[in-house]
Structure 1
Amino acid sequence: MVVNKMNWIGLPALLLLLLFNTGTSQSIIKTLPGYSGTLPFKLETGYIGVGENDEVQLFYYFVESENNPKTDPLIFWISGGPGCSGLSTLVYETVCFCTGPFYYDVADFDGSLPSILPNPYSWTKLYGFQVASIIFIDSPVGTGFSYANTSKGYSSSDKKSAKDNYTFLRKWLLNHPMLSKNRLYVAGESYGGKLVPMVAMEILLGNEAGLRPRMSLQGYIIGNGLTDPNIDYNERIPIAHRLALISDEYFELAKVSCGGKYDNPDPNNVQCLLALQPIKECVNQINEGHILEPKCKRLPKTDNFGWDLTFSKDDSVDHLVLQVSKQDRQWCRSQNYESCYVWANDLTVQEALRIRKGTIGEWMRCNRSISYEVNQKSVLHYHEIFSNKGYNVLIYNGDHDLLIPYMGPLKWIRNLSMTIDDDWRPWHVNGQVAGYTMKHKKNEFNLTFVTVKGAGHTPPEYKPKECLAMIHRWLSTRLL
Structure 2
Amino acid sequence: MKKGLSIYPATTEMSGIRLRNTHFHVINMMLFLVFPLLLLSDAAASKSIIKSLPGFDGNLPFVLETGYIGVGELEAVQLFYYFIESERSPKDDPLVLWLTGGPGCSALSGIIYEIGPLSFDYAKSSGGGKPVLALNPYSWTKIANIIFVDAPVGTGFSYSTTWEGYHVTDTLSAAETYEFLRKWLVDHPKFLTNPLYVAGDSFTGIVAPIIVQEISDGNEVGHQPTMNIKGYVLGNPRTDYEIESNSIVPFAHLKALISDKLYESFMKNCKGEYLNPDQSNASCMEDILAINECIGNLDNAQILEPTCKDISPKPVALKWDPRFLIADDADILLSSPRDPGPWCRNYNYVYIYMWANDETVRDALHIRKGTIKDWRRCNKTLAYSYNVESTVDYHRNLTKQPYRTLIYSGDHDMVIPYVGTLEWIESLNLTIKYDWEPWFVDGQVAGYAMLYADNAQEYITYDLTFASVKVRTGISSANCLI
**What TM-score, normalized to structure 1?**
0.87
Q: Which amino acid aligns with 1:163?
A: A
The alpha carbon displacement at 1:230 in A equals 1.2
Correspondence for 2:375: 363
Q: Which amino acid aligns with 2:477?
A: P
Distance (Å, rounded) in 2 between the aligned partners of 1:138 and 1:311? 28
Query: Does the 8 Å CA contact 1:224/1:404 hold for their aligned counterparts?
Result: yes
Correspondence for 1:196: 208
1:286 aligns with 2:307: no
Correspondence for 1:221: 233
Distance (Å, rounded) in 1 between the aligned partners of 2:34 and 2:210? 28
Correspondence for 1:277: 289
For the structure 1 residues 77 and 13, does the alpha-carbon distance in structure 2 shift closer, same or farther, using more than 3 Å as the test? farther
2:330 pairs with one of 278, 293, 316 = 316
Correspondence for 1:231: 243
1:78 pairs with one of 99, 103, 112 = 99
Matches within 5 A, 1:45-56: 45-56=66-77
Q: Which amino acid aligns with 1:190?
A: S
The alpha carbon displacement at 1:309 in A equals 5.5
**What TM-score, normalized to structure 2?**
0.87
Q: Which amino acid aligns with 1:88?
A: S
**SS of structure 1 residue aligned to 2:47:** strand
Correspondence for 1:418: 430
Distance (Å, rounded) in 1 between the aligned partners of 2:124 and 2:117? 19
Q: Deviations over 1:39-80 (max 9, x none)?
A: 000000000001110010000000100111111001101110
Q: Which amino acid aligns with 1:320?
A: L
2:48 pairs with one of 23, 27, 51 = 27
**SS of structure 2 residue aligned to 1:290:** coil
Query: Does the 8 Å CA contact 2:97/2:146 hold for their aligned counterparts?
Result: yes
Query: Does the 8 Å CA contact 2:47/2:65 hold for their aligned counterparts?
Result: yes
Q: Which amino acid aligns with 1:380?
A: V
Correspondence for 1:6: none
The alpha carbon displacement at 1:313 in A equals 3.5
| Higher alpha-carbon Rg | 2
Distance (Å, rounded) in 2 between the aligned partners of 1:401 and 1:149? 38
The alpha carbon displacement at 1:312 in A equals 7.5
Matches within 5 A, 1:136-285: 136-285=148-297
**SS of structure 1 residue aligned to 2:197:** strand
For the structure 1 residues 230 and 174, does the alpha-carbon distance in structure 2 shift closer, same or farther, using more than 3 Å as the test? same
Correspondence for 1:112: 129
Correspondence for 2:313: 303
After TM superposition, the structure 1 stretch with the greater mean CA deviation from structure 2, 100-109 or 389-398, is: 100-109
- For structure 1, list consecutive stretches of 5 or more residues without a partner in the other structure: 1-9, 126-130, 465-480
Q: Which amino acid aligns with 1:164?
A: E
The alpha carbon displacement at 1:414 in A equals 1.0
Query: Does the 8 Å CA contact 1:289/1:456 hold for their aligned counterparts?
Result: no
The alpha carbon displacement at 1:36 in A equals 1.1
The alpha carbon displacement at 1:223 in A equals 0.4
Distance (Å, rounded) in 1 between the aligned partners of 2:135 and 2:361? 17
Correspondence for 2:118: 102
Q: Which amino acid aligns with 1:100?
A: G
Distance (Å, rounded) in 2 between the aligned partners of 1:330 and 1:456? 12
1:453 aligns with 2:475: no
Distance (Å, rounded) in 2 between the aligned partners of 1:328 and 1:226? 35
After TM superposition, the structure 1 stretch with the greater mean CA deviation from structure 2, 80-89 or 268-277, is: 268-277
Q: Which amino acid aligns with 1:454?
A: V
Query: Does the 8 Å CA contact 1:223/1:395 hold for their aligned counterparts?
Result: yes
The alpha carbon displacement at 1:16 in A equals 3.7
After TM superposition, the structure 1 stretch with the greater mean CA deviation from structure 2, 307-316 or 433-442, is: 307-316
For the structure 1 residues 177 and 66, does the alpha-carbon distance in structure 2 shift closer, same or farther, using more than 3 Å as the test? same
After TM superposition, the structure 1 stretch with the greater mean CA deviation from structure 2, 107-116 or 14-23, is: 14-23
Distance (Å, rounded) in 2 between the aligned partners of 1:288 and 1:350? 34
Distance (Å, rounded) in 2 between the aligned partners of 1:328 and 1:284? 23
Q: Deviations over 1:178-223 (max 9, x none)?
A: 0011100000100012211111001001101101100011010010
The alpha carbon displacement at 1:274 in A equals 1.6
Matches within 5 A, 1:366-405: 366-405=378-417
Query: Does the 8 Å CA contact 2:411/2:468 hold for their aligned counterparts?
Result: yes
Correspondence for 1:44: 65
2:88 pairs with one of 67, 83, 107 = 67
Percent identity between the two aligned chains: 48
Runs of 4 or more off by more than 4 Å in structure 1?
Answer: 10-15, 304-312, 455-459, 461-464
For the structure 1 residues 135 and 372, does the alpha-carbon distance in structure 2 shift closer, same or farther, using more than 3 Å as the test? same
**SS of structure 2 residue aligned to 1:77:** strand
Matches within 5 A, 1:345-356: 345-356=357-368
Distance (Å, rounded) in 2 between the aligned partners of 1:14 and 1:198? 27
Q: Which amino acid aligns with 1:303?
A: P
The alpha carbon displacement at 1:264 in A equals 2.5
After TM superposition, the structure 1 stretch with the greater mean CA deviation from structure 2, 446-455 or 77-86, is: 446-455
The alpha carbon displacement at 1:372 in A equals 0.4
Query: Does the 8 Å CA contact 2:37/2:225 hold for their aligned counterparts?
Result: no
**SS of structure 1 residue aligned to 2:65:** strand
Distance (Å, rounded) in 2 between the aligned partners of 1:132 and 1:311? 37
For the structure 1 residues 257 and 463, does the alpha-carbon distance in structure 2 shift closer, same or farther, using more than 3 Å as the test? closer
**SS of structure 1 residue aligned to 2:466:** strand
After TM superposition, the structure 1 stretch with the greater mean CA deviation from structure 2, 262-271 or 22-31, is: 262-271
C-alpha RMSD over aligned residues: 2.4
Q: Deviations over 1:87-107 (max 9, x none)?
A: 0011x21xxx2x211111122
Query: Does the 8 Å CA contact 2:37/2:224 hold for their aligned counterparts?
Result: no
For the structure 1 residues 137 and 456, does the alpha-carbon distance in structure 2 shift closer, same or farther, using more than 3 Å as the test? farther
